[in-house]
A and B are shown apart, each in its own frame.
Chain A
Amino acid sequence: MTGGLPQCTLTPVSVFILQRAATGLVVIFAMACIVFLGVYAIGNPIDVLINPAADQVIRRETIARYGLDRPLIEQFWVFLSALFTGDFGSSFVFGTPALPLILAKLPATLELAMSAMVIAIVLGIPLGMYAGLRHESVAARVIMSGSILGFSLPTFWVGLMLILVFSVELGWLPSGGRGATVTILGIEWSFLTADGLAHLALPAFNLALFKLSLIIRLARAGMRETWLADYIRFARAKGLSPARVIFVHAFRNILIPIVTVLGLELGSVIAFAVVTETIFSWPGMGKLIIDSIISLDRPVMVTYLMLVVTMFVLINFAVDVAYAALDPRVRETRT
């Protein structure tokens, strides 16, 4: 497949990486088309932009100002060139440019998403490995039933229950907001203050639950499979301590699917944050997008979508590269 390329200059890994980069660009372009069609062609921007009580002159003026009277192809071209310059238009609601508006909310969402990922990894890998090693034990069954729960329960419902139990009934943790923040490099962070951590706990756990279940399952399946592999049997037969076999030999192999899925799930954590942020009034991008969907703030919707797609593509790309670095088999099959 790569035979036609000058192979003397490109290693198989860099061909693989270039291919993935090209795919990523195609994906971003495809999503731009879909977003354009979805937002500009299916919905009618005129209804949103113009007060229904406005007279014909104002209507025509506004339509001309936004270029809505021009052919679809031409509008698409204008849309695309605006994307390249990072000009997504101004929010109808706030009157400020959409991109900075969303980027200002990005740290809060990233903080929430990262906390959720950390919770999922720190709890999920050990629980899953244990469930894989002692898969007949009662504890393993409890862990696995818990992971089915984590998969099935809708995020918003778990969020409600967390608020009901920990905020309303027990009064231990606050039900919403970000709490006190510390400003570092001009960005506010909640996790550095006790109050901020208390505010972060419930939403982060809420968001982590789904990923936690996923990691438990992956780690368990990986552990069960790896434990039967010849090299593990050999390591055990050689008389290595069980701890060394588990944490050095088996652990590395379990990590491969987990790294892949984690990378891919990083994007979906940001997507799921939409629900969690809305329930816990966490002032991130997700809450902003729900608010702008409800107020039909089109530029913010478009910007958010393109931003999320770009983020997804970058994450997928990073995962592919990490995958090639971690798993020698990927490198070899590409040659």
Chain B
Amino acid sequence: MSARGVAAGRSPAAQLWREFADSKVAVGALIVVGLCMLAAIAAPLITPQNPYDQSQLVLFDARLPPGSVGSGGYVHWLGTDAAGRDLLSAIIFGLRISIGVGVASGTIALSIGSAIGLLAAFRGGLVEAAVMRLVDLQLSFPAILLALVLAALMGQGVAQVVTALVAAQYAYYARTVHGAALAERRKDYVEAALGIPLSTRRVMARHLLPNALPPLLVVATVQIANAIAIEATLSFLGIGMPISEPSLGTLIANGYQFMLSGRYWISVYPGIALLIVIMSINLVGDRLRDVLNPRLKR
């Protein structure tokens, strides 16, 4: 792909976009991800009420079905929950927390994981053996179980959940970067750069890391979707986000008790929102994998 891209005089990013855009589904998914992000950032501006401002809640409005008009005089398109919150507003605020936690833990895990993977690949020897053994050991253990245990040990809270997610996920990044760096490490341009000599740190950060970027990008996309799903699972089980900062998982858990009595919307709509976010991130990741992995080109 790079050969063709270079021949046509396009930047790698433009070339990547051209190939990515071949799939209409992927472009649609990317737009949905973008819209969700925008909604999450602009939550207080676009929601009809601030669902966590107690003064705006009217208990009389509790558990209204979707489409009812509440005492606020506006339509609750997705109904209200047990405390009389407008569910649409609650979902958009929940989206903000879910995406925030996913992106934060993804970014931290990516930084820590790539640093570990790069160092291991460059140092070699005992450091590499020990570190990568630990990473492999951790990868043989399901991330959700590790996150579950850590979250349980540390208790509820944003920082705790992010820490648990980072600890559960850094290994995926470390292995990806390690693999890519090992492959690049043997190539002539790295030997040449080291021979000039440029400092190891500079070669790692400026020469090697950009070349390890394609697989890293794919892993990061998928892992952020996973982080959002794991966080939702933890919150649903009652060991994730605290009540004061309800993510989509918390909303689903809150509505669960009403589901069996037919008030499905309190649980189902946050669930659909969660689904849309995770699905579209995964679709984007899937397309990126197809475009960036030369082995899959047939």
Chain A residues engaging chain B, CB cutoff 8 angstroms: 27, 30-31, 38-39, 42-43, 148-149, 151-157, 160-161, 163-164, 167-168, 175, 264, 267-268, 271-272, 274-275, 278, 290, 293-294, 301, 305, 308-309, 312, 316
In the complex, 25 of the A-B residue pairs with CB atoms within 8 angstroms, ordered by the A residue number, are: A27-B137, A38-B149, A38-B153, A39-B153, A42-B153, A148-B282, A153-B279, A154-B232, A154-B274, A156-B232, A157-B252, A160-B256, A160-B259, A163-B259, A163-B260, A164-B264, A168-B262, A175-B260, A264-B140, A268-B145, A271-B144, A275-B233, A278-B237, A293-B148, A312-B140
Chain B residues engaging chain A, CB cutoff 8 angstroms: 134, 137, 140-142, 144-145, 148-150, 152-154, 225, 229, 232-233, 236-239, 252, 256, 259-260, 262, 264, 267-268, 271, 274-275, 278-279, 282-283, 286
The distance in angstroms between the C-alpha atoms of A160 and B255, with both chains bound, is 11
B259 adjacent to A164 (CB under 8 Å): yes
Contacts of A275 in B (CB 8 A): 144, 233, 237
Q: A42-B154, A152-B282, A168-B259 are in contact. Are A290 and B140 (CB under 8 A)?
A: no
B267 adjacent to A154 (CB under 8 Å): no
User: Interface majority SS on A: helix, strand, loop or mixed?
Assistant: helix
The distance in angstroms between the C-alpha atoms of A302 and B252, with both chains bound, is 29
A160 adjacent to B282 (CB under 8 Å): no
Contacts of B271 in A (CB 8 A): 157, 160-161
Contacts of A30 in B (CB 8 A): 134, 137
A272 adjacent to B237 (CB under 8 Å): no
CB distance from B236 to the nearest CB of A (A): 5
CB distance from B149 to the nearest CB of A (A): 7
CB distance from A276 to the nearest CB of B (A): 11
A274 adjacent to B148 (CB under 8 Å): yes
> What 3 A-B pairs are tightest by C-beta distance, nearest first?
A293-B152, A271-B145, A268-B142
Contacts of B238 in A (CB 8 A): 294
The distance in angstroms between the C-alpha atoms of A144 and B239, with both chains bound, is 33
A267 adjacent to B142 (CB under 8 Å): yes
Contacts of B232 in A (CB 8 A): 154, 156-157
The distance in angstroms between the C-alpha atoms of A184 and B148, with both chains bound, is 34
In the complex, the chain A residue whose C-beta lies closest to that of B239 is A293
CB distance from B139 to the nearest CB of A (A): 10
The distance in angstroms between the C-alpha atoms of A64 and B225, with both chains bound, is 46
A301 adjacent to B152 (CB under 8 Å): yes
The distance in angstroms between the C-alpha atoms of A30 and B133, with both chains bound, is 11
Given contacts A157-B232, A160-B267, A271-B142, 11 further A-B contacts (CB under 8 A): A152-B229, A153-B279, A154-B233, A156-B237, A157-B271, A160-B252, A161-B268, A271-B144, A272-B144, A290-B239, A294-B238
Q: A148-B282, A153-B275, A155-B233 are in contact. Are A274 and B145 (CB under 8 A)?
A: yes
The distance in angstroms between the C-alpha atoms of A151 and B268, with both chains bound, is 19
CB distance from A223 to the nearest CB of B (A): 14
CB distance from B163 to the nearest CB of A (A): 11
Contacts of A149 in B (CB 8 A): 279
Give the contacting residue for B275; candidates A157, A163, A294; CB below 8 A.
Answer: A157
Q: A160-B252, A294-B238 are in contact. Are A154 and B283 (CB under 8 A)?
A: no
A168 adjacent to B154 (CB under 8 Å): no
A164 adjacent to B268 (CB under 8 Å): yes
The distance in angstroms between the C-alpha atoms of A149 and B149, with both chains bound, is 27
Give the contacting residue for A316; candidates B140, B153, B286; CB below 8 A.
Answer: B140
In the complex, the chain A residue whose C-beta lies closest to that of B256 is A160
Report which residue of B140, B145, B150, B286 has the largest number of chain A beta carbons within 10 angstroms of its beta carbon: B145
Q: A152-B225, A160-B252 are in contact. Are A43 and B153 (CB under 8 A)?
A: yes
The distance in angstroms between the C-alpha atoms of A115 and B159, with both chains bound, is 37
B142 adjacent to A152 (CB under 8 Å): no
The distance in angstroms between the C-alpha atoms of A149 and B267, with both chains bound, is 19
Contacts of B237 in A (CB 8 A): 156, 275, 278, 290
Q: A151-B282, A154-B233, A156-B236 are in contact. Are A305 and B144 (CB under 8 A)?
A: no
Contacts of A27 in B (CB 8 A): 137, 140
CB distance from B129 to the nearest CB of A (A): 12
The distance in angstroms between the C-alpha atoms of A161 and B237, with both chains bound, is 16
In the complex, the chain B residue whose C-beta lies closest to that of A38 is B153
In the complex, the chain B residue whose C-beta lies closest to that of A154 is B229
Contacts of B144 in A (CB 8 A): 271-272, 274-275
The distance in angstroms between the C-alpha atoms of A301 and B148, with both chains bound, is 11
In the complex, the chain A residue whose C-beta lies closest to that of B279 is A152
A301 adjacent to B149 (CB under 8 Å): yes
The distance in angstroms between the C-alpha atoms of A267 and B143, with both chains bound, is 12
Contacts of A153 in B (CB 8 A): 275, 278-279
Give the contacting residue for B141; candidates A43, A164, A272, A312; CB below 8 A.
Answer: A312
A305 adjacent to B229 (CB under 8 Å): no
Q: A275-B144, A293-B148, A294-B238 are in contact. Are A148 and B259 (CB under 8 A)?
A: no
Contacts of A272 in B (CB 8 A): 142, 144
Contacts of A43 in B (CB 8 A): 153-154
A294 adjacent to B239 (CB under 8 Å): yes
CB distance from A146 to the nearest CB of B (A): 12
